[in-house]
Amino acid sequence: MNMKKWMAAAIACSALTLVACGGQSKDTTGAAPAAADPNKVYRVAMNAEFAPFESRDANGKVEGFDVDLMNVMAKAGNFKIEYKHQPWESLFPALKNGDVDIVISGVTITDERKQSMDFTDSYFEITQVVLVPQGKTISNPEDLKNLNKVGVVTGQTGDFSVSKILGNDSPKIARFETVPLVVKELENGGLDAVVSDSAVIANYVKNNPTKGMDFVTLPDFTVENYGIATRKGDEATVQMLNDALKKVRESGEYDQIKAKYFADEAKK
């Protein structure tokens, strides 16, 4: 091979190498929006026992903040969705097994959950609060130790928070399957307090003024973030959802939906 041919071959090989490497490198100008599969219907699972984020109407149809948000995201991202209501404890196994593609159900982003699933950017901030009968004083998490029974929903952030204070196997912790069930037990006098997500408890207090309940925000409970969960490693779906979420935020639709459900939320 003469020198000219050798140089030409070397340049061609270098170009091919750069192209191949470019496929692995980050695009510093920003990744192109993920294109949704036009033939796929993304199965969205939720436990519709968590108003105002998700609940069911008289006909069993899911509704709420998460539903409205996902609907406008699907429109903005040009992808199709269908909803599945199922028990909370079945949501993450269904995602892992491929029975559903997306979980949006007031899911707090945690390091532990990141080990087994992926999350979009945060779409809502909350904290844990303590729901108590009016007149009962709770000023810090340590006061929970002086109560006989504290209600939580199994596997939700309130469960984790109370377990850290009282101990995971404490007999003072009463675990229930849904927020409506644990709140009903408090109303009936079977519990001294309930710990759950701020927006959900505020919604309950606002819509049930005759129940004689109030809630307390404790400074020791940190701010948490809800995210939309996808199967571990499903980067395409995460990007598709993040692109759509960004669009509805920029268009103002996110703020409109939030105002619909939370404009009158009590400030604690």
Q: 221 or 144: whose pLDDT is higher? A: 144
Q: How far apart are CA 84 and CA 45, in angstroms?
A: 5
Say what the pLDDT of residue 14 is: 42
For the segment 66-81, the average pLDDT, to the nearest whole number, is 98
Answer whether residue 25 is part of any domain: no
For the segment 210-216, the average pLDDT, to the nearest whole number, is 94
For the segment 216-234, the average pLDDT, to the nearest whole number, is 91
Least confident of 9-23, 27-41, 249-263: 9-23
Verify that 119 and 131 share a domain, yes or no: no
Verify that 169 and 200 share a domain, yes or no: yes
Domain residues for 170? Answer: 127-217
Answer whether residue 12 is part of any domain: no
Verify that 69 and 188 share a domain, yes or no: no
Q: Which two tokens stand for residue 110?
A: 């945690």
For the segment 259-268, the average pLDDT, to the nearest whole number, is 63
| CA end-to-end distance (rounded Å), the chain | 80
Q: What is the average pLDDT value for the chain, to the nearest integer?
A: 87
Answer whether residue 32 is part of any domain: no
Say what the pLDDT of residue 263 is: 57
Verify that 133 and 179 share a domain, yes or no: yes
Does residue 264 carry a pLDDT above 50?
yes
Answer whether residue 18 is part of any domain: no
Verify that 54 and 187 share a domain, yes or no: no
Neighbour-count burial of 220, counting CB atoms closer than 10 A to its CB (0-12 exposed, 13-18 middle, 19+ buried): exposed
Say what the pLDDT of residue 115 is: 97
Verify that 202 and 254 share a domain, yes or no: no
Rounded to the nearest 10 degrees, the angle between the axes of helix 198-207 and helix 179-187 is 50
| CATH code for the domain in which residue 156 is found | 3.40.190.10
Contact between 46 and 104 under an 8 Å Cβ cutoff? The reply is yes
Share of the chain above pLDDT 70, in %: 84
Answer whether residue 200 is part of any domain: yes
Q: How far apart are CA 71 and CA 160, in angstroms?
A: 31
Does residue 19 carry a pLDDT above 80?
no
State the total domains in the chain: 2
Query: What's the pLDDT tens digit per position in 136-191?
Result: 889 888 899 999 999 999 988 899 999 999 999 999 999 999 999 999 999 999 99
Say what the pLDDT of residue 18 is: 33
Verify that 229 and 202 share a domain, yes or no: no
Verify that 211 and 131 share a domain, yes or no: yes
Q: Residue 38: count other Cβ atoms within 10 Å of its Cβ.
A: 8
Say what the pLDDT of residue 26 is: 36
Verify that 180 and 256 share a domain, yes or no: no
Answer whether residue 268 is part of any domain: no
Answer whether residue 21 is part of any domain: no
Verify that 141 and 165 share a domain, yes or no: yes
Query: What's the pLDDT tens digit per position in 190-210?
Result: 999 999 999 999 999 999 999
Cis peptide before 52 (omega within 30 of 0): yes
Q: How far apart are CA 74 and CA 253, in angstroms?
A: 13
| Number of residues that make up the chain | 268
Q: At 220, is the pLDDT very low, low, confident or very high (cuts 50, 70, 90)?
A: confident
Say what the pLDDT of residue 12 is: 44
Verify that 102 and 213 share a domain, yes or no: no
Answer with the one of 199, 217, 235 that is the final residue of a domain: 217
Closest CA to 48 of 155, 177, 160, 175: 177
Q: At 33, is the pLDDT very low, low, confident or very high (cuts 50, 70, 90)?
A: low
